[in-house]
Copies of this chain bind each other. A is one copy, B any other.
Amino acid sequence: MKIGILGLGLIGGSLGFDLRSQGHYVLGVSRRELTCQKAMEIGSVDQASVDLSLLVSSELIFVCTPIGLIVPQIKELIPYLHKNTIITDVGSVKGPIVHSISPLWENFIGGHPMAGNTSAGIEAAQFNLFVNCPYVITPVAKTIKNNLTLLEEIVRSLGSNVYYCSPEQHDRAVSWISHLPVMVSAALIDACLNETDLEILELAQNLASSGFRDTSRVGGGNPELGVMMAQYNSQALVNSLHQYRDHLDSFIKLIEEENWEVLGEKLLFNQHNRPRFL
By a beta-carbon cutoff of 8 Å, the part of chain A in contact with chain B is 114, 133-134, 136, 163, 165, 169-170, 172-174, 176-178, 180-195, 197, 199-200, 203-209, 211-224, 226-227, 230-231, 234, 237-238, 240-252, 255-256, 258, 260, 263-264, 266-271, 273-278
Contact = CB atoms under 8 A, between A and B. Distances in A.
Contacts of A176: 191-192, 195, 200, 204
Given A184-B184, A190-B266, 10 more contacts: A172-B204, A176-B204, A177-B212, A187-B244, A190-B270, A191-B240, A192-B277, A193-B273, A220-B270, A238-B255
B271 A221 contact: yes
B215 A217 contact: yes
A207 B114 contact: yes
A32 B273 CA distance: 31
A212 B273 CA distance: 13
Contact of A244 (B163, B191, B209, B266): B191
A176 B215 CA distance: 12
A38 B200 CA distance: 40
Nearest to A195: B176
Contact of A231 (B199, B237, B249, B258): B258
A192 B176 CA distance: 6
A220 B185 contact: no
Given A165-B203, A172-B197, A252 B241 contact: yes
A232 to B, nearest CB: 10
B267 A208 contact: no
A271 B234 CA distance: 21
Nearest to A275: B220
Nearest to A217: B214
A144 B136 CA distance: 64
5 contacts: A176-B191, A211-B218, A219-B270, A223-B268, A238-B252
A66 to B, nearest CB: 14
Contacts of A190: 247, 250-251, 266, 269-270
Contacts of A191: 176, 180, 240, 243-244, 246-247
